[in-house]
Amino acid sequence: MDNDIKVGVSNKEGQLGFVFTKGGHREGSGRKSIGVTKKVSLTLSDEVWAEIEKECTDHNRSRSEVIRNILESHYSNESN
């Protein structure tokens, strides 16, 4: 097994960093984008938030994913 490690200068002044010969950031790697991220503040009733949280728990999904699915479903049905 090849465990080559190089010591390189970090982008931060005066600090050393370790540079591994395999892995790390590569062009095209990582999670693919599903759209544009915009921060919003959303006011809903306690009952609606409870339903959203229940959906998150029941289906092991993030709040963003649940709300995104609701919005995408609404707008895809609207265009039909």
Residue 27, pLDDT above cutoff 80: no
pTM value surpassing 0.85: no
pLDDT value of position 31: 77
pLDDT at site 74: 94
**pLDDT reported for residue 48:** 97
Give strand pairing partners of 17: 8
**Position with higher pLDDT, 7 vs 79:** 79
How far apart CA 14 and CA 38 sit, in angstroms, is 36
Beta strands in 1-80 (DSSP E): 5-9, 16-20
Element (H or E) spanning 65, and its range?
helix 63-78
∠ CA(13), CA(14), CA(16), 5° rounding?
Answer: 110
What DSSP character marks residue 12?
S
Domain count, the chain: 1
Structural domain includes residue 24: no
Q: Classify residue 54: in a domain, yes or no.
A: yes
Answer yes or no: is 47 within a domain.
yes
pLDDT at 30: 77
Domain span holding position 79: 40-80
Weakest mean pLDDT among 5-9, 41-45, 75-79: 5-9
